[in-house]
Amino acid sequence: MTSTTRRAAVALVGAALLALTACGQSAADNNAAAPAEGGQAETLVFAAVPSEESSSLQQQFAAVISVLERETGATIEFQNATDYAAVIEGMRAGQIDIAMFGPFSYVLAKNQDQGIDAVAAIVDEQGGEPGYQSYGIVPADSPITDLAGFAGKNVCFVDPNSTSGYLYPTAGLLEAGVDPVNGITPIFAGGHDASALSVASGQCDAGFAFDAIVDSQLIESGQLQPGQLKVVWRSETIAGAPVAVASDVSPETRQTIADTLVNEANVDYLSANGFCQSADSCEVGEDGSWGYVPIEDSFYDGVRRVCDITKAESCTSLG
């Protein structure tokens, strides 16, 4: 685990720009200048941000990318982005065509460019609803029992543009009477795993992370022991993470991407059609997920309501 860092919004945007500069030729150059036969792009850039420190994020999306390449006829380049700001800036700048957003980062991206569309959201099981929760966590032996107890403490968040790692926790703190800026010492850990592990190690007195990281992922990886963390707060259900398509992607390709994600980018189809060796080994972008379901922009109105509650500066800008 990397050390916990305190990062301001300016640093986030700087990291975003550095990451995008390093990508080489932009997606806009590839797509707009050199459309493939039939109007489809020769190259599409697919970006995602890891929810935990991982060198295998590209592998987690490998089967999904393969089926998208088959259906669109495009070469898809995968970009492991540094943070949500990098994805937002990249899509707005025409350097990213498809992105796996967090709900909050999608709303921010949509605010920046109304042409960006959410086309599908990830679900854990067939027929499931795309949603999850943010957890407020403390060490198991902590005397803290609720969010009011976070006052005056070192509190780990994930990222200023994280839905479950910042926006909903901020709303929760405000409702508990805790100023999320001046009433605590906020620390941005950079990932859900880093936030949870920093709490477990005592680097933070308390913190926030999304449910699966705490309930299963870090335990299954051996980084946390069962019962090492105590959950003292749970958010309302948050709209699930969407895949969104940039405004400059052609309508035909956009529809193909949406149809492919909903109909083919799931464990059952991918394993049955040779994109995965087996259903047990098949990954669709997040550990334990089954596939994708169709989604509309209005599904994220709950995130917008939380922005209204918190009046967070990050709700109107990149950081």
Of 193, 208, 236, which residue is a domain's last?
236
CATH at residue 288: 3.40.190.10
Same domain, 125 and 258: yes
Residue 306 lies in a domain: yes
Same domain, 259 and 283: yes
Note the pTM of the prediction, 2 decimals: 0.72
Residue 206 lies in a domain: yes
pLDDT of residue 219: 96
Residue 3 lies in a domain: no
pLDDT in tens, 82-110: 888 899 999 999 999 999 998 889 999 99
Residue 202 lies in a domain: yes
11-15, 26-30, 201-205, range with the lowest pLDDT = 11-15
Same domain, 228 and 247: no
Of 236, 263, 278, which residue is a domain's last?
236
Same domain, 31 and 62: yes
End-to-end CA distance of the chain, in Å? Answer: 24
Q: 84: closest CA among 107, 53, 118, 67?
A: 107
Q: What count of Cα atoms within 13 Å lies in the side-chain half-sphere of residue 142?
A: 26
Same domain, 14 and 95: yes
**Confidence tier at 261 by pLDDT (50, 70, 90):** very high
Domain of residue 294 covers 9-129+240-315
Which residues sit opposite 230 in a β-bridge? 138
Amino acid at 204: C
pLDDT of residue 51: 62
> Considering its fold, how many domains does the chain have in total?
2
The phi, psi pair for 262, rounded to 5°, reads -70, -40
